[in-house]
Amino acid sequence: MTPAIDAHVRLDTHPTHPSAVQAVLTGSQAHVALVALEAAEWSVAATNVLVLARIDHEEPHWAKDAAEHLRAVGIAVEITPRLQEAMNEEWTWANYPMPWCTRSEIREVSNQAQQIHDDIRHGHLLIHAHAHDGHTTVAVGTYLHRSGKSVYLHGENHLRQIADTFDSPAEALLAFEKVHAATMRPGPAPLTDTERAAIAARFVFDVTTAKAQPSRPTPETVPVYLADAGDHDALLETFIDSHGEWQKWRTWSDDTTHAIHECQTLRIERVHGADPREAAWTVAAYETPVSDRMWHLTATGTTPAPVLQTLLHHLAAGDAWDTAIGSPVTEKTVTAATQPLTDAGWEHTVDGRWIRWTNPSRDADIRFDAFAAHQPNSNLTTWTIWSGPSIDHPTWTVTASPYTPSPLLADISETLAHDTGTRHTHRWRRDARRGRPCWTRSGWGRVTTPRQ
């Protein structure tokens, strides 16, 4: 007989998301349940509160599966009536593109898509580029763990699948570019509405203190790589307003702003509301207005404001044009790009193809990929600048391609080595005490049938 564990898990529907599930843990051994749920891709939202938010809307099914596993090891589980009703409901997708699949097979396909989504979200699957093939989104990326294989992805949300595999990123990118050169864009595709909703459901909230008003955030001065991201949209607006040679336009969906220099060879793409782990900024340079891209740099939405200010300042400088096209990577250009870090005492190490410069507190790092730098016609990431617990779980990331000008990289290095920024020690929490919205599963394009 399995010994009882002093932990109780109460499973309920999410207060705002129509299909997500929340778990509230109590008991002296609540941590045992927490570890088990985290291993099943539940996200910690607050103290002893976890959320299961998926892109396939199968949360009730997997919550039921989690409850069975918890009970099997001796943890008490309570399921509220409204969640039990959702667990008992039978439904299917309307106009599902694979009508020959049984309900369990559909769920298996959806779960594989969820695993791809989670691998991207956790940084295990790095997306190099995406495109639209006329029907759906396609992408190419490389697993940083597991097999290390590069993959071709087809589809969105619960229909995304691995359609092909490659032995190297270079091989995968060449094959991808051959088919999708006309619509190919760097980095991952913009988040879908479904992905945005799942992210919102995981937003930090605390059901035990929802009425309490938080204290006012207190700013503190910190090294620049630990600074807050600030208001990225305001940074871009200020930059454009101050530099008349740049013109902007926003996409019809209002989720992306493009800024283009009057010479048409330097461009900025700003994705609004991007996932903190995804590229929110892309800067690209071209030899001529109609030529292929020569170099590009990306930054996530959590990149500290001073780092972005350095980038924008360099783009506005008069001498930026002399290096806009970029030049091949040499030992001299690598040294020039990282000299400020060396002067500031950052540790310099070499590990195979990787050359790294790490700050003394080991929470910021620049990594140079010598292999990627010398691949002909390569758009592979050559420079990775990041800060956080580890390169697999960074707080923010900046990446750059082989021909990125060394003066630009040197400016960023100088900022990381010597500048400071502002960080706030408290964050506002979202009030979770909101009524459950009225919703129908048909709103997801699904057909529901109550279980008899």
In a domain, 54, yes or no: yes
For residue range 72-96, list pLDDT tens digits in order: 999 999 999 999 998 988 777 777 8
In a domain, 206, yes or no: no
Residue 215 scores a pLDDT above 60: no
**Cross-strand pairs, 249:** 258
Asked if 394 and 250 sit in the same domain, the reply is yes
Asked if 41 and 187 sit in the same domain, the reply is no
Asked if 161 and 68 sit in the same domain, the reply is no
Element (H, E) at 308: helix 305-316
Asked if 69 and 133 sit in the same domain, the reply is no
In a domain, 203, yes or no: no
Q: Which of 165, 198, 231 is the last residue of a domain?
A: 198
Asked if 302 and 186 sit in the same domain, the reply is no
Asked if 225 and 359 sit in the same domain, the reply is yes
Copy the structure tokens of residue 248. Answer: 């902007």
In a domain, 435, yes or no: no
Asked if 151 and 224 sit in the same domain, the reply is no
Residue 187 scores a pLDDT above 90: no
Could you tell me the pLDDT band of residue 290, with boundaries at 50, 70 and 90? confident
Distance CA 292, CA 298 (A): 17
Q: What phi and psi values does residue 6 have, to the nearest 5 degrees? A: -75, 70
**Cross-strand pairs, 369:** 354
Asked if 85 and 38 sit in the same domain, the reply is yes
In a domain, 86, yes or no: yes
Number of domains in the chain: 3
Copy the structure tokens of residue 125. Answer: 């699957």
Helices (H), 40-137: 59-72, 81-88, 103-121
Report pTM. 0.49
By residue range, what is the domain housing residue 291? 219-424
Q: Which of 33-37, 294-298, 372-376, 419-423 has the lowest mean pLDDT?
A: 372-376
Asked if 254 and 387 sit in the same domain, the reply is yes
In a domain, 177, yes or no: yes
Strand order in the sheet with 137-143: 161-166, 150-154, 137-143, 125-132, 185-186
Asked if 182 and 282 sit in the same domain, the reply is no
Asked if 402 and 296 sit in the same domain, the reply is yes
In a domain, 440, yes or no: no
Residue 211 scores a pLDDT above 80: no
For residue range 372-411, list pLDDT tens digits in order: 888 876 678 999 999 988 888 889 999 999 889 999 999 9
Determine contact, residues 188/381, Cβ cutoff 8 Å: no
In a domain, 240, yes or no: yes
Average pLDDT taken over every residue of the chain: 83
3-state secondary structure of 230: coil
Strand duo 347-351 + 293-300: pairing: unpaired
The confidence score (pLDDT) of residue 219 equals 74
**Cross-strand pairs, 354:** 351, 369
Q: Which of 36, 71, 91 is the last residue of a domain?
A: 91
Q: What string of DSSP letters covers 161-228?
A: EEEEEESSHHHHHHHHHHHHTTT-EESSPPPPHHHHHHHHHTS---TTSTTSPPPPP-EEEEEGGGS-
Asked if 80 and 114 sit in the same domain, the reply is no
Could you tell me the pLDDT band of residue 342, with boundaries at 50, 70 and 90? very high
Question: Which has more pLDDT, 382 or 254?
Answer: 382
Please give the average per-residue pLDDT across 421-447, as a whole number. 41
